[in-house]
Amino acid sequence: MNGGLFKILYCSRNYIEGEQAQQDAEISQILHTARANNSRQSITGALLFNSGFFAQVLEGPRPAIEKLFEKIQCDPRHGDVTVLDSGNAATRDFPEWAMAHVQTPSDVHACGVTAALDQAFLNPGESGRDVLTLLRTLLVQGD
């Protein structure tokens, strides 16, 4: 067993340009690819996207996570990657999702999401739990 279950949570800034429709197309492409690859690697997680930011949780065997994380780093569609939390974990937070798409609420809550992520960039060490809770909450609402 090489390290057991490993988890990493990061946020980054969105570099995808263009209209909403183009952005949506890129995101669904990212999700499709992620889901196809992740299920083979027993990686699960969730991806939040709004026009300014990404926030993503990846959980799975450490070597696979490290490989995927490196691949994600090389993606020019985002930047300013800030790791909020990482380490070994006992359980998965998103066991049923090869990559859950967390929808940004379109209503007033959108401001709250942006504020939470702004805070995460400023205080990466203390924001991990908040962002994770945010992802889980929005995921449930999105269902």
The site for other proteins (CB under 8 A) is made up of: 3, 6, 8, 10, 15-18, 29-30, 32-37, 39, 62, 65-66, 68-77, 79, 81, 83, 86-88, 98
Minimal distance in Å, beta carbon 55 to other proteins? Answer: 15
The one-letter amino acid code at 47 reads: L
Cβ atoms of 12 and 79 closer than 8 Å: yes
As given in the structure block, the two tokens for residue 141 are: 């609402």
Minimal distance in Å, beta carbon 19 to other proteins? Answer: 13
Taking the least distance from each CB to other proteins, the nearer of 110 and 123 is: 123
Taking the least distance from each CB to other proteins, the nearer of 17 and 107 is: 17
Taking the least distance from each CB to other proteins, the nearer of 85 and 118 is: 85
Minimal distance in Å, beta carbon 104 to other proteins? Answer: 19
